[in-house]
Structure 1
């Protein structure tokens, strides 16, 4: 898998995303779970993470508030279902733009390292095919792709990521 984001439909309810990073998986895992690192890469280039809270424990939650250059805001949040550092995170994500019955998605992040290159695979399972397709049509692929490009920059060297 290359250094660009691959986004595909999987079954009727899932989106499968993969991307490789030139970094050890412990560093990629940290970039997903430490607020100071999440703020540096999460979201599209024209959005900024203005609030980032992470309670890294099963049953704990994460909450990111993003703000676009023009002032629009987006709130993303979830509750950790499984944590297996440094290879797996599972969280139940909620989207306040959807009703409660369809506004949840189960996101499973897996990190596999070979020779200093970490392949990230994220499977997001939605409550309905309609919601999954709406997410794909929303520009999600561009936003995630730009965020992952920023993540690659953050983890390019341990010094840049603030870990030594």
Structure 2
């Protein structure tokens, strides 16, 4: 499956899309169950430790990713959590002024397939471009490939 990561040409928005051989309910569970989320998020070789995870409207989260012996912290708040959509903030603690507002949509395509669409709004075109110039796309692509493998293996 192909993951697309695109920058809006005018707005400080990143749009991500990927089809999965999974139900929308499975994708929702993979994004709300902390034990599952920790297994697939991030680039290959990443170990993730969930510090706090309250996946409900008004809840919050924090996790730490370990990559090559270095820890990277991330945190945010769940503004809305429902089976077809999650709205949350996302902050990389190494750049605390760059808070993204993310909307994740889980679309049922029928026949055991679904599509995940993510829109991430940041505060400036410069912030958006800095995210895209880093390892963001690699981490997203490899993480979603791991998620697909977990689905195929029956882990979700």
Give the TM-score band, short-chain normalised. Answer: over 0.9
Match of 1:96 in 2: 93
What CA deviation, in whole Å up to 9, does each residue of 1:38-81 have, x standing for no partner?
Answer: 1211111121112353102222111111101x201111111011
**Structural RMSD (CA):** 1.3
SS at match of 1:160: coil
Contact 2:122 2:128 in 1 (8 A): yes
Q: Which 5+ residue runs of structure 2 have no aligned equivalent?
A: none
Give the TM-score taking structure 1 as reference length. 0.88
TM-score with structure 2 length normalisation?
0.93
The equivalent of 2:122 in structure 1 is: 126
Match for residue 111 of structure 1? 106
Instruction: Give the paired residue count.
Output: 154
Change (3 A) 1:154 1:53: farther
Determine helix, strand or coil for the equivalent of 1:39.
helix
Gaps of 5+ in 1: none
